A and B are shown apart, each in its own frame.
Chain A
Amino acid sequence: MATREIAGKTVQVNEEGFMTDPSLWTKEIAVELAQEEGISNLTPDHWKIIEYCRQTAAASGSAPTLRNITNNAGVSTKELFSLFPKGPAKKVARISGLKKPEGCV
Chain B
Amino acid sequence: MADNNNNHRNIAFICSKGDLAMAYPALIMGWAALGNGHDVTLFFTFWGMDIINKARVDNLEITPVANTSMKMSMMGVPGNLGIPNVMGIIPGMTAFATKLMNDKMKKLEVPPVREYLQMLADAGAKLYACKMSVDMFGLTKDDFVDGVQDIVTAADFIDMTEGSQIIFV
Q: A76 near B: Cβ within 8 Å?
A: yes
B2 touching A90, Cβ below 8 Å: yes
A37 touching B35, Cβ below 8 Å: no
Chain A residues at the B interface, C-beta cutoff of 8 Å: 16-18, 36-38, 66-68, 70, 76-78, 81, 86-91, 94, 103-105
B35 touching A86, Cβ below 8 Å: no
Which residue of the partner chain B has the closest CB to A66?
B35
Q: How far is the CA of A50 from the CA of B2 in the complex (A)?
A: 18
Among A17, A36, A90, which residue has the most Cβ atoms of chain B within 10 A?
A90
Chain B residues at the A interface, C-beta cutoff of 8 Å: 1-5, 8, 28, 31-32, 34-38, 108-111, 118-119, 122-124
B37 touching A104, Cβ below 8 Å: no
Beyond the given pairs A87-B37, A104-B28, A105-B110, 16 more chain A to chain B contacts, judged by CB atoms under 8 angstroms and listed by A's residue number, are A67-B111, A77-B123, A78-B122, A81-B123, A86-B5, A87-B38, A88-B35, A89-B32, A89-B35, A90-B4, A90-B35, A91-B4, A94-B2, A104-B31, A105-B28, A105-B111
B32 touching A104, Cβ below 8 Å: yes
CB distance from B35 to the nearest CB of A (A): 3
A77 touching B119, Cβ below 8 Å: yes
Interface of chain B, main secondary structure: loop
> Given the complex, which residues of A lie within 8 Å of B123, measured CB to CB?
77-78, 81
Q: How far is the CA of A64 from the CA of B124 in the complex (A)?
A: 21
> Given the complex, which residues of B lie within 8 Å of A77, measured CB to CB?
118-119, 122-123
Which residue of the partner chain B has the closest CB to A104?
B28
CB distance from B120 to the nearest CB of A (A): 9
A87 touching B5, Cβ below 8 Å: yes
Q: How far is the CA of A81 from the CA of B123 in the complex (A)?
A: 6
In the complex, 23 of the A-B residue pairs with CB atoms within 8 angstroms, ordered by the A residue number, are A16-B2, A18-B2, A37-B4, A66-B35, A67-B119, A68-B109, A70-B119, A76-B122, A77-B119, A81-B34, A81-B122, A81-B124, A86-B4, A87-B4, A87-B36, A87-B38, A88-B35, A89-B35, A89-B36, A103-B109, A104-B32, A105-B110, A105-B111
Q: How far is the CA of A18 from the CA of B110 in the complex (A)?
A: 26
A37 touching B122, Cβ below 8 Å: no
